[in-house]
Chain A
Amino acid sequence: MGDQKIGMHGMTDSLNWKRIAIGAGLLLMAVYPLIHGDPYIMHIFILFFIWSLVASNWNLLMGYAGIFSLGNIAFLAIGAYTSGILSKNLSWSPWLCILLGGIASMALVTVFIGLPALRLSGIYIALLSLIFADSLPTILTQTRSLTGGAMGLHDVPPLFEGILRIHSYYICFALFLVMLTIIYRTIHSATGLAFVALRDSREFARSLGISEYREKLKVFALVSFLTGIVGGFYVHYLGDISPTTLTIEPFLLTIAMMEMGGIGRFPGAVLGAVIIVFGNEFLRLAGTLRLALLGALICAIILFFPGGLMQLVDWIDTRIAARRRRAHG
């Protein structure tokens, strides 16, 4: 996957190689279940769709809006738990529950992190969101009758009766496309430009009449809503969720996806997710050393390869441009 997306730099075609690579990647994802359709690999693909969306949302918050949130897994967990509990206990339609899960995530996050964060900056938001995510498992174990406590929530109904993995695959693929489009449009909208302006020079942005509070709240609401929705799909696909989702491992995996792809670059988190989700399956062979390797990977990327995969893409771009210039004399 990753190789297809970035490995086409040999082309001297006048067409943009990146567009071709993205098209080829999407085409592969669209037809994979039809031409090969191994259930295990489809499962990994679904996980890739889900986690790449979590990482892309996080990247929108952290890379573009410059808000150091460390609690995005909690957004996912709130959406997933809300949706799971509602559809299991009240037997409402999972689709409605997913939407409600997104709204619940948006409401809780905006009240507990977004509003305090309006007065705070940098490191304080990082600490607040980390401690927010950290206190959730305690709350979950305290409300055992509703959330299943430490054992987690089981037997969450699927999206519809008799769903097959291929259905889940295409549903998650559609979610992947829709949500990436929303994120892309947000980045390139006035809001996205405002984020970039605020991140690069707050005074300049303010002098242009950008309201920092409004933009910050907007991005918190959007990111927590979208991540909550992803959480809903996650829980209805897997059928169960437990407080282990909030442990260090998913958190680190998502951070690694963003770092690997390149912080603050749009498709970066998706590229990172390709490597991390598929690589993680191989890493299972390393057993207990897996987390150590993951930590080492994050350190190594930051020290030696700070721009991530997007840096590689840029490098290929400059090489192609240089070659073309030489060819034209």
Chain B
Amino acid sequence: MTLILHPGRSRSPQATGGSIGRCTIKDLLYALVSGLISGSLYASMALGLAIVYGVIHVFNFGHGIVAVIGGYLTWLLLSQTGMGLIPAVVCMLVMMFFFGLLIFKLTLNPLLKTPNWEFSTIIFLLGLGILLENLTLQAFGPRVKYIPPFFEGSLKLGFLRVNWHEISIIVIVLVFVVLLNLFLKRTWFGKAMRAVAQDMDGARIVGINIQQTFGFAFALATAVTGFSGVLLGTKYYMTPHIGWDWMVKGFVIIVLGGLGSASGAIYAALIMGIIEAYVTLLLGSLWVWPAWFVLFVVILLLRPQGLVGGRTL
């Protein structure tokens, strides 16, 4: 939770920002584009939180480190085994899926049966997050790591200049969201997850194995979050500690979107990405955190149920 701001590796000019008087239409457009890019990154990251909360009603306070581990695993596979990017990501996804399944079966499943589960799962996941964060630190050291961009070069649209890599991130996140949506709506497991999210007793009556669905949802969310870590690692840099900042942003996003609503999380992520870009442009990057806090309080006071309140997944 150390609060060092991360302006990131963004190559857009808005990173320097901080002057209300001097910004032109061009700056405003740049900020919009860069807000869309970071918004889609946040969307990929917040989805895992929304899935876990939606299905299991557990708030994953170890979410940030899961993203970091996903990024580091991919980095390790890329740099040590000489794999291509796609095989490395697929390997990472499979590993993260089983890692999530293992954590759920061994720890969360018994915890959920205790009377005080709501509280103990929060503290447990917090402790687990710190444990994993510091193990990552031991294994990889505190040095900053980068995942190379997917594509080199940039696209010129009039005066607007956007990296191909950043366009590819938006496309990847879009495809990813569509696939996830198809999974949730069309496949048996996806339908089971939604059923459990909407009405646990009803789901049990029609013969859905709740424990299994919980485990599957947690494992899926772990893999999804690991994938978002890869995307974040290509756009920004990675250290073992950066997960906290991502996670706190993810919290604000899913509260704005409505807890446990996957589509709400996506809208909220785009909104917050754009707001963040404009705050950086107009007030300077140091004001980004207070802005997140103020927005969070405003959301909670005006619309605690979020943008798409009531709907689950």
Contacts and interface: CB of A to CB of B under 8 A. Distances in A.
B155 interface: no
A134 B296 contact: no
Interface stretch (A29-37, A119-127, A174-182, A229-237): A119-127
Contacts of B133: 291, 295
B196 to A, nearest CB: 18
A122 B138 contact: no
Nearest to A298: B127
Given A137-B3, A247-B1, A131 B252 contact: yes
Nearest to B296: A131
Interface in A241-265: 243, 246-248, 251-252, 255, 259, 263
Given A126-B59, A288-B138, A306-B116, A138 B5 contact: yes
Contact of A248 (B107, B124, B130, B290): B130
Interface in A127-180: 127-128, 130-139, 141-142
Given A135-B292, A303-B110, A298 B301 contact: no
Interface string B101-138: 00000010011001010111011101111111111011
Contact of B293 (A120, A135, A303): A135
Interface in B275-304: 286, 289-290, 292-293, 296-297, 300-301, 304
Contacts of B80: none
A263 B251 CA distance: 25
B45 to A, nearest CB: 16
A295 B130 contact: yes
Nearest to B132: A295
A238 interface: no
Interface string B195-209: 000000000000000
A294 B130 contact: yes
Given A120-B304, A138-B5, A246-B1, A128 B297 contact: yes
Contacts of A297: 127
Interface in B52-100: 59
Interface SS of A by simple majority: helix
Contact of A298 (B3, B114, B118, B126): B126
23 contacts: A112-B297, A123-B118, A126-B59, A127-B296, A131-B251, A131-B292, A135-B3, A138-B3, A138-B286, A141-B3, A142-B286, A246-B3, A252-B126, A288-B138, A291-B130, A294-B127, A295-B129, A296-B127, A298-B127, A299-B128, A302-B120, A303-B110, A303-B124
Contacts of A126: 59, 122
Contacts of A247: 1-2
B255 interface: yes
Contacts of A288: 134, 137-138
Given A116-B300, A303-B110, A123 B128 contact: no
Contacts of B210: none
A299 B114 contact: no
A68 interface: yes
Given A127-B255, A135-B293, A292-B134, A122 B118 contact: yes
A36 to B, nearest CB: 35
